[in-house]
Structure formats: C-alpha cells, structure tokens
Chain A
Amino acid sequence: MFEKILIANRGEIAIRIIRTCRKLNVKTVAVYSDIDARSLHVREADEAVHIGPSPSPSSYLVHEKIINAALAKGCQAVHPGYGFLSENAAFAAAVVKVGLVFIGPSSQVIAELGDKISAKNIAMKAGVPVVLGHNLPIVDIEEIRSLAAEIGYPILLKPAAGGGGRGMRMVATPSDLESALQSAQDETRKAFGDDRIFLERFIVSPRHIEIQIIADQHGNVISLGERECSIQRRYQKVIEESPSLAVDATLRSRMGEMACALAREAGYSNAGTVEFIMDDRKNFFFMEMNTRLQVEHPVTEMVTSLDLVELQLRVAAGEPLPISQEDVSIKGWSIEARICAEDSARNFLPSTGLITRYSNLRGRNIRLDSGVEAGSFISVYYDSLLSKVISWGETREKARTTLINALNRYHVEGVTTNLDFANSILNHPAFIKGELSTGFIDECFEDGEAKIDPPMGQLEAMVLASTTVYHNRKNLVRESLKPMAAKVGLSHKSAQLYRYVVKGNKNIFDVELQGQLSSPDWRVRVNGTEHAVVVPVFEFYRRRLKLSIDGVDQYFRLQYRQNFIWCAHCGISRILEIYTPREWELAQYMPKEKKGASVNVLLSPLPGMVVSILVNKGDRVYRGQDLVVIESMKMECGVSSPCDGVVENVAATIGKAVETDEVLITFTT
C-alpha cells in the first residue's frame, strides 16, 4: 500500500478520499487554488500545496503543477477524483512517466474508452448491445424496412432536413412503417423540400442504468450491482439509487457480466462504470464507460458494504482484488441526493456566496459526503456540488423516508440550494411508484415546483409547526414585557383557545391552539383535525425544528421573515402568513399586490468603472444574477439583473467610467 498520495481534486470528493486514506494510514497531500486556501479539504489533508490562481485552467487542470507538487511532497500516487483530470489520458501518462502511480486505468484505456467510436467498437466486440442507428439518409422503403428489422422496433424516423421535431415519427411495429414513412416524408417534403430520412432505435421512457465494476491488474473483474440515475436535469444527475426497480437478479447478473466483459475486452483496471440506457421493455444498450470513480459511488458502497476508494487504492498498488464475484451481495436499498448551489426555480442557475449557516447531518442509516461548512465560499470557478446526502434502508421505501427526514433537517444558508427541489422529487408520487425515466423532471416539474399540488397533510404539518412557533414566541414576548406593564388590576385570566388564520400561497388554514406556555403539551387543530403536539423549548435563533406531532417526530426548517414565517418540509417551501382572525377579516380590503411595472433596463447604482461584463447580447438572464462588475471606491461590486429576460443590448464597455443611473444593459422580457 502507498504511504502518501496526492489528491488532485477539491470539495467533497477530496474529503471522501482523505477519509479512506486515514483508515488505511495513507498520508494525503491536497492541492488548492487561491480561492480555496481556506477550504475544508485543505485543512482535512495532512499537507497542502498551492497550485495557482482560482480559475481551474490555471490550477487544478495544470498537469505539471500537480505532478510537481506530488514529487515535491514525496507522494507515490495521484488520485484524480472525478471531473478535472480524472479522465485525461495525457495526464495519466504524464503521472506514470515520472514514476508515480495514477489511481485509475492506464492512459491508453482512458483514451480508447473516452472516444465514442472506439468505445462502441470495444462494446460490440465484447458482445454488449449498443443503440443501433443508420447514419446515412435514405428514401427507399424496402431499404428502410430491412434496416428497421435489423435495428429493432420501435424505431424513430428522423427527417434529414429541418428540425424541431417536424416530421419525426415513432414506429412501434413493422405494419405501421409504411404509413408512418409516408406521412413523415409528406410533411418534410412540404416543409423543406427534402424527403430523406434517418433511422434510429427509439427508446421508450429511457432509464439511465449503470453498472459499477472494479478490476485489478491481474485480470480479475467483478461487478458491484447497478445504479439508477434516471432523475436528471440538464444531463446532470440529481437523485441516484441502488439497486434499481427496473433490474431483477437475472438482469443484474446479465448486465454485470456484460460490463465485466467490456472491461476485460478493454484491458481495464481500477473502478469504472458502464452506462446503459434501458427502454420500457428492459432492453438495454451501452452508452459509454466512465473510467473513474463516480459522484454517486456511495449508493453502491451502502448496499455492498464495500469501500470503493479502498479497492481503488489496493488495485492501483498492485494488490489482487480481495473479493470475488460470489462475495458481492446487494443488501437493502440506498438513495443519494446531490445538493448543489443552484436555483431550481431559475433554470438551475448557479448560486454563489458565503455559506453563513450550515448544519451537519448525523443519524442512523444516513451518510453525508460534504465539501463545505459554515464559512465556505461558493465561487463561480468550480462546479456547484456542495454535498451528497445518502440514505440506506431495508427497502426502497425505508431508504426514501430516511432520506426525506434527513433533508428536512439539513440546512444550508447563504447560497440558494436545490435542497427542497431534491426533496420534492423524493416526495413525488411518480418517484414513490418508481415510474422513472430521464424525462422525469421535465414531465413532473416546472420552474422547480412539482406540477401537482403538494399533499395537504404535509402542508398542514408545516402550518401547525409555524403557528406553534409563532404563538410561543408571541407569548414569550408578552411574558418578557410583563414587568413593564401596569400592575394595577393585573389580570390572571389566560385565554384557553387561540385562533389564527394562516395563508400559504393559495391555501388558507384555520388553526386553533390550546395549551400553556409552561407546558410542552399542546393540542393544535388545523382545518378541524386535532393533533397532539409536544413542543421543545424553542430557541428562536435555530433554523431547524423537531416537533412531535401525534407521537411522530417531524423535522422542519423555518425562519422568521419580518412578520411572517418561511417554512420548508418534505420539499415544500412556503412563506406562511399568520394572521389573527381580526386581521384576516380586514385583509379582504387590502389592495391586491400590484405587479410592479417590469424593469427592463439595468442602471449603474453607483459611479465607477466597469471592470467586467458577464453576459453577451442574446443571453438569457434571471433576476438577481450578477451581470456587470463595477469598481468604485477601490471596491469591486457586482450589479445584478433587475428582471428575468434576454439581453437586448450591452451599453456598458469594459474600462469605461459610468455615472449613477447610467444605462448598462437593456433587456427584452
């Protein structure tokens, strides 16, 4: 085993690797750019080397800097993590050239599997099915018929000309082929004057299923089950699980064998992932092979009780695999949620800033792989993944509820995260039923909100929690002020029943509370249903609340927003407006909130000099996104978009002085 390795990465994966190294008594060397000088991974490692400016092309991606750091610190191997240089054949070669070990497959294998065509060839040679298609346009019906039979139904007819789905036809059976072709050709001829057609296999409700393998340098290859990663947005995975509902034991061993065959064919060593696309009839086709540790590797570790990083290190050090295929068993179920700094409501726009509050997660069957802490600064330079929350349960349902409960009490403040979005996926009926496909998010969500209404029970729990906190705080204020109130005629009557009306978006709730400030037992009625609530001693600076409702512990995240309360629970987040009955009665007279006239121009808020412009004409921008940086009083200050829209014109010029209220950018909204 190695004595010391360099980790050519940052964030959660660097910390994840360090964890295993500690266990194996391997010393670690971290690398960091300017902005990462105070990052968590730097402090966790035994040693750290500065490798340059913040942009990754000048630091984390510079081969020489990383190799020199490894040599200078006396490392024997380099672990690339994922991303950055992990699938860079030239880097792997350079590492080996100076006498270090690259923890991953050989440079040649990386290159071969990294190329789409040669990877496909290797797969076919290994007998792995690939998505068949025909890359020459054709017109002749007989030719199409025979090709379609070869590719397999259903097939997709794609016009050679045009785009936007015009003239596309899905053909389910050979008998439909002729008429479908006819109408496709008619349409595309009319529209584009061209009737040539491409053919390809049509994948119905595609699922993304991948097989984890590990291979040593002695020819042993084993597979460690599958992961389902169908829940994706913009080709980025959000929720991953292992095993998959779409895969049974027979299919698992068949897919596993295929993946191992492919790895053998390629001469692969170390951990790798073979990605397949699967249709609704469980036909699966090879897509690509990832020659590195995957972000979602923890779900495999949770169900196999293996440490993949440990296996990676052992294999790279030349040891034979300590286990054989028969030793691998899949136990229970594991689900992972990726927590990213991004705004799900604004097309997943990355969010940056200082993490001002952060609560670590602990608990049975919960694993948190995090790269951040309170005080971490999320910059524009690197990817937006903050952490991964992974759960385990005997069944999928148990793993799911455990993860939901964990996310309900996981709090990250300072940057916008997809925490509630990820949680709402886990709570979605289609996810519960396991009706997954890569189109899941587009089908079930819009602007980060589920298209269906959230369950009333969860909303009511949120209303109950918020109102109980609100009422207790109000009472506490009253108690505190008592010494300053009049002593004459001091009355001791205390109302037995407190009523509130709570508004959250379009829902209205009637709430009645019954209880004493001095006692933890409250009876709370929400829309007529009574609940027994045991309240803790409220500490009002906390953002997390654990409340026992009808004997079940539930977790909420909440925050005072002036006179109202923001609450998040099970993927729903709402500002709850809590009114007294009299206020609610009078609220009907209040003017409807006017939508302010949309501002479609960005003005300079201060005099200064434009130092950078972050968008171009035609870019889609969102409210709150920084568009221009102005230097004033020797300080750089970002000017953010006042609206959602498209950049119509950039009036500002870099290096030019601007006055207050000078037009910087105009938009069309």
Chain B
Amino acid sequence: MQRPEQDNLTKLESMKEEAFLGGGAKRIEAQHRKGKLTARERIDLLLDEGSFEEFDLLMTGRAGQSSGIGEFPGDGVITGHGTIDGREVFIFSQDFTIVGGALGEAHAQKICKVMDHAVRVGAPIIGLNDSGGARIQEGVESLAAYGEIFHRNVQASGVVPQISCVMGPCAGGAVYSPAITDFTFMVENTSYMFVTGPNVVKTVTHQDITAEELGGAMVHSKKSGVAHFAFPNDILCLREVRRLINYLPSNNRQQAPILDLRDPAERTDPALDYLVPANPNQTYDMKILITSILDGAEFLEIHPHFARNIIVGFGRLGGQTIGLIANQPAVLAGVLDVQSSEKAARFVRFCDAFNIPLVCLEDVPGFMPGPEQEHGGIIRHGAKLLYAFSEATVPRITVIIRKAYGGAYDVMNSKHIGCDMNFAWPAAEIAVLGPKGAAQIIYRKEIEEADNPEEMLARKTEEYRITYANPFMAAKRGFIDDVINPRDTRHRLIRSLQFLENKRTVRPQRKHGNIPL
C-alpha cells in the first residue's frame, strides 16, 4: 500500500499536469491559429528563462450559481512573479483557452493577490490581458471582482509601475484596468478594446463597424491614444515590455536605474550646429536631436503614432533614465493642441511619480488656434500640461531650440514654473508672439499710414525680430541660464543632471492637488 504523502504527490502531479494544459490541446491549437501565444508561452518570453514562480495554480472558482460550468485549476489566469534582466516583477496572464479567459471571482482574487504583493514589496505589475470579459454565470460576483481590481490599480498608481498588454479581446468594464495603468501595449490584428462592441453599436446607432475598426491596435495607438504602443505580434510586444522595464525604477521609493552604455558624457555632435534651418519657416526633424544626445542613440518613444506634434519617451543621459518631452516641428509645426497637451501631461506626471528627471526640448510656435480647439477645451487641456510641469519635483531641464512663443513658452517647463535649468540655442526666439504678428499690433498705425504698408510691415517685422526674437533678452533677465553651442547640448545636460542628482523639494501638506482633468 502506498503511503499517503506519495499518494498526494502523484495526485499533485496529475493536478499540475492538468493545470499546465490550460483549456486543452485543441484550444491551444486554436489560439495558435489566431496568431496568438498561450498565457504560459507569453510568460516564458516576458520573464528571464526559468525565473517564473507561480501562485495559486490549484485555485479554482466556485463554479457560480449555475453549476453548468466546471471547475478549472487556476481559473483562467496564471499569476506569479519572476525577473526581467534580474529584477523582480509581478505578473498575471489571462488564459483565453479556459472559458475564453472570462473573469470570475477566483480569477480576480488571484490578480488581486499579485497586485497586493507587488505594492507591498515595491515591484512592477504587468498584466497580459486576453479575456472575453466578465464570467456571466457568476453574476454580480464578477462585477465585484472587476471593482476590486480597478481599486487596486488606483491604489498602486504612482507606487509601482503598472503595465498592461492587451493581447486579445478586452471589452466592456474590463478596459478600465488597462486605462488606469501607466502603459498599455496592444498587438495588431489580434487585440481590441472597447466599452461597447460592434453588435451593440449596430443595435443602438445602426452603424456597421468591425471590432478592428472600432477598437483595434492602430485605432487606439493613432486616434484615441488609449494604447501607448502597438506591435505586429506577441513576441515583439513582449520584447518591448522588457525594454521599457529597463528604464524604470521598481517603485516610487527607488531612483531609476543607471545603465551604462559606455557613451562618453563629453561626446559632441557638430551636425547639431546645422540642425535648425536658416529659414525660420522651414521645419526639421526633432528626432535627429533626440537620438544625437541620448546615450547610444537609443530612445523609447511612447505614443509614437498619437499626437505626433509632441514627442515623449524615455532615454538615458550619462546612464540616467530621463523622461524626454520635445515639440516636433516636422508635424503641425510642433504646435500644442488638445491631444498633444494631454499626451505630454500624463507622461510628465508618470516621470515625476517615479523620480525620473525631465528634459524638455522646446520649439513651439504656440497653441493651435481655431474654434475646433477652443470648443474642444484647449484651455483646460493645455492647463493639464501646465499643471503637470508646475507640480513636478524631479530635476527639470529645458533647452529652447528655436521657437518659444506666448503662453506656450510658459507652459513648456519654463523657469517661471519651476524648471531647474533653462538653456537656449543661439537660434532661440523667445517672445510674446511671432515677429510679423507682433509688428502688426505694435506698429499698426505706422503701417497703415505708410506709403507702402507691405514694405513698412516687412521692415518693422525685421526690427522686431532683431530686438526681441532672440535668446538674449531672456538671458539678461536670468530666465535663460545659458545660451549654449548646439553641439555641446549632451554634455551640458549631463552636467546639469549631475548637480541635480540630489535635488529635494518640499511641498506643503495637502491631500492632493486638483489637476484640471
């Protein structure tokens, strides 16, 4: 007769075997046919080889009110922790092969457990979402379960980095968890997110629209901005998550990692002296400057397809992770509008929450004019960016590359709202408004009365340009700390980051501010 523990060992083995098979070979094959990996395969790729430790493999649901649905070991989600390049992260990965990854009570409890662990020990949470939605058979319990997750997402916000990968369907209430997390990744053609699906849209508004058109990866990464990244397949998506994690501290008490790519701090780039075209009406590509100054020319751009008139993302300077915000003159002249203000504001707040210094490269002609923008609330959306910068206590540096006009000058991390160092390139134009517009107002009478108004306007415009549209007025006032040689930008930024390394700012006690949401 077998001893009981041996008996249990055999039993355990078969239980685990069953759990590892998820929804069974057939469903796994179906998942692969769709071009998707299984929940376990995804974990394999995301984490360092052999580092995954699983929780609650044996946990099952209560099978709901109707006992039609069986018990599944693991209840449709795999949870646990493991390492990415040696650092611990917590992870949950929904298993679409088990009742379509539907979220029930036990499933949610497992997710909540890893989230609690993550917050307690200060490690990032990565969710791999692939779920048909709430497990309807469990009724209100599954709604309660969603609420528990959302609440934890909010509690963890600003404490540990939270990343969501939407790698399958994510519909209804489920979308709000990724929406709250810091970064959302999507996979083209296999994932979609919407509050109400195409069928409901059809019933309510009689519009015919596919899931891809309604909430596919490209829609959310280009139009709505819901997704920060979109990748062609699971493998590339998970690789990028690993890359992102390497820029971030594990929690808000840590400094961001220092990663030495052996790029000399003194490296200069003579090409930068020629970056800004002589003609102020010509554009250039801000990305040239970005890749030139950053360590190893490596830049991880966030929201690369959304509101492209502003560029945000992570890079490193002298090994230090920095959050970079740059106007993009090559798109809409780099103007600030509703979408770009929101995009940048959220990024600034993330960096501030996680001790990541901010570097702002400024070339902004102003805010986008027009009824569409005004009626769309450019005032309150622009205010978000102003608020986010003003509130940030991390080291903050601005380099004015060319234009810094009007209110946009103040908003883009100016000295007046608390930036630590403000540099300008010799081509900088810092003024209330552009030379032509300014001349039209200041010299209206003279221009109207002139024999040749056109010529007078041109003359006065030039006069204004020489007097005001330069960095020297601001430098005289001390608003600009130094006018620098473009080729030295990298070195000057690194030197500033060095002296700002131990910057401490004490803010008055308050519960929280009231950012104009």
- B295 cross-chain contacts in A, Cβ below 8 A: 540-541
Interface digits, A376-415 against B, CB 8 Å rule (1 contact, 0 not)? 1100000000000000000000000000000000000010
- A632 cross-chain contacts in B, Cβ below 8 A: 332-333
Minimum CB–CB distance from A498 to chain B (whole Å) comes to 11
**CB-based contact B85/A476 at 8 Å:** no
Minimum CB–CB distance from B116 to chain A (whole Å) comes to 19
Q: Is A614 an interface residue (CB 8 A)?
A: no
Question: Interface with A: B37-45, B136-144, B422-430, B468-476, which one?
Answer: B37-45
Interface digits, B79-93 against A, CB 8 Å rule (1 contact, 0 not)? 000010111100000
Q: Is A560 an interface residue (CB 8 A)?
A: yes
How many angstroms between the C-alpha atoms of A477 and B260 in the bound complex? 8
Q: Is B485 an interface residue (CB 8 A)?
A: no
- A634 cross-chain contacts in B, Cβ below 8 A: 281, 333, 365, 434, 436
Question: Interface with A: B67-75, B175-183, B261-269, which one?
Answer: B261-269
- B332 cross-chain contacts in A, Cβ below 8 A: 606, 632-633
Contact (A477, B259) CB under 8 Å given A373-B270, A541-B295, A582-B45: yes
Contact (A482, B86) CB under 8 Å given A38-B274, A541-B261, A591-B35: yes
Task: Tell me which of B243, B270, B291 contacts A375 (CB under 8 A).
Answer: B270
Secondary structure call for the B interface: loop
Q: Is A357 an interface residue (CB 8 A)?
A: yes
Count of chain A to chain B residue pairs whose CB atoms are closer than 8 Å in the complex: 148
Tally B residues with Cβ within 8 Å of A.
66
**CB-based contact B274/A376 at 8 Å:** yes
How many angstroms between the C-alpha atoms of A354 and B270 in the bound complex? 12
A468-509 interface (Cβ within 8 A of B): 473-474, 476-478, 480-482, 484-486
Q: Is B406 an interface residue (CB 8 A)?
A: no
A153-172 interface (Cβ within 8 A of B): none
CB nearest to B29 among chain A residues: A589
Minimum CB–CB distance from B386 to chain A (whole Å) comes to 21
**CB-based contact B37/A589 at 8 Å:** yes
CB nearest to A631 among chain B residues: B281
**CB-based contact A484/B246 at 8 Å:** no
**CB-based contact B333/A355 at 8 Å:** no
- A358 cross-chain contacts in B, Cβ below 8 A: 271
- B488 cross-chain contacts in A, Cβ below 8 A: none
Interface digits, B268-295 against A, CB 8 Å rule (1 contact, 0 not)? 0111111101100111100010011001
**CB-based contact B283/A637 at 8 Å:** yes
Q: Is B233 an interface residue (CB 8 A)?
A: yes
- A192 cross-chain contacts in B, Cβ below 8 A: none
**CB-based contact B262/A635 at 8 Å:** no
Q: Is A593 an interface residue (CB 8 A)?
A: yes
**CB-based contact B83/A485 at 8 Å:** yes
- B86 cross-chain contacts in A, Cβ below 8 A: 478, 481-482, 484-485
Interface centre among B190, B259, B267 (most CB of A within 10 A): B259
- A327 cross-chain contacts in B, Cβ below 8 A: none
B211-239 interface (Cβ within 8 A of A): 232-236, 239
- A355 cross-chain contacts in B, Cβ below 8 A: 271
**CB-based contact B283/A414 at 8 Å:** no
Q: Is A653 an interface residue (CB 8 A)?
A: no
Q: Is B407 an interface residue (CB 8 A)?
A: no
Q: Is B101 an interface residue (CB 8 A)?
A: no
**CB-based contact A541/B263 at 8 Å:** yes
How many angstroms between the C-alpha atoms of A274 and B37 in the bound complex? 67
How many angstroms between the C-alpha atoms of A480 and B295 in the bound complex? 14
Q: Is B189 an interface residue (CB 8 A)?
A: yes
A529-576 interface (Cβ within 8 A of B): 537-541, 559-560, 562-563
**CB-based contact A480/B273 at 8 Å:** no
Task: Tell me which of A373, A480, A637 contacts B330 (CB under 8 A).
Answer: A637
CB nearest to A584 among chain B residues: B235
Q: Is A374 an interface residue (CB 8 A)?
A: yes
CB nearest to A543 among chain B residues: B297
**CB-based contact B88/A635 at 8 Å:** no
Q: Is A636 an interface residue (CB 8 A)?
A: yes
**CB-based contact B333/A635 at 8 Å:** yes
Minimum CB–CB distance from B371 to chain A (whole Å) comes to 13
Q: Is A657 an interface residue (CB 8 A)?
A: no
Minimum CB–CB distance from A226 to chain B (whole Å) comes to 40
CB nearest to A606 among chain B residues: B332
Minimum CB–CB distance from A155 to chain B (whole Å) comes to 56
- B264 cross-chain contacts in A, Cβ below 8 A: 539
- B246 cross-chain contacts in A, Cβ below 8 A: 477, 481
Q: Is B132 an interface residue (CB 8 A)?
A: no
Task: Tell me which of B35, B45, B257, B262 contacts A481 (CB under 8 A).
Answer: B257
Interface centre among A476, A481, A485, A580 (most CB of B within 10 A): A481
- A587 cross-chain contacts in B, Cβ below 8 A: 235
How many angstroms between the C-alpha atoms of A253 and B87 in the bound complex? 75
CB nearest to B245 among chain A residues: A481
Q: Is A583 an interface residue (CB 8 A)?
A: yes
How many angstroms between the C-alpha atoms of A590 and B239 in the bound complex? 14
Q: Is B198 an interface residue (CB 8 A)?
A: no
- A376 cross-chain contacts in B, Cβ below 8 A: 274
Contact (A590, B235) CB under 8 Å given A484-B254, A537-B262, A633-B335: yes
CB nearest to B233 among chain A residues: A590
**CB-based contact A480/B44 at 8 Å:** no
**CB-based contact A540/B292 at 8 Å:** no
Minimum CB–CB distance from B130 to chain A (whole Å) comes to 14
How many angstroms between the C-alpha atoms of A112 and B263 in the bound complex? 60
**CB-based contact B88/A486 at 8 Å:** yes
Q: Is B489 an interface residue (CB 8 A)?
A: no
**CB-based contact B45/A583 at 8 Å:** yes
Minimum CB–CB distance from A585 to chain B (whole Å) comes to 9
How many angstroms between the C-alpha atoms of A248 and B461 in the bound complex? 69
Contact (A377, B274) CB under 8 Å given A541-B297, A589-B37: yes
Task: Tell me which of B49, B190, B269, B282 contacts A374 (CB under 8 A).
Answer: B269
A35-49 interface (Cβ within 8 A of B): 37-38
CB nearest to A355 among chain B residues: B271
- B278 cross-chain contacts in A, Cβ below 8 A: 37-38
Contact (A476, B243) CB under 8 Å given A485-B87, A540-B296, A582-B44: no
Q: Is A281 an interface residue (CB 8 A)?
A: no
Minimum CB–CB distance from A567 to chain B (whole Å) comes to 15
Given contacts A480-B260, A541-B267, A590-B35, 5 further A-B contacts (CB under 8 A): A484-B87, A563-B239, A589-B35, A591-B189, A633-B333
Closest 5 A/B residue pairs (Cβ): A591-B35, A633-B333, A375-B274, A374-B271, A485-B86
Can you list 13 A-B pairs, Cβ within 8 angstroms, ordered by A?
A: A374-B269, A375-B270, A375-B272, A377-B277, A539-B263, A541-B263, A541-B296, A586-B234, A590-B35, A590-B233, A591-B190, A632-B332, A633-B335
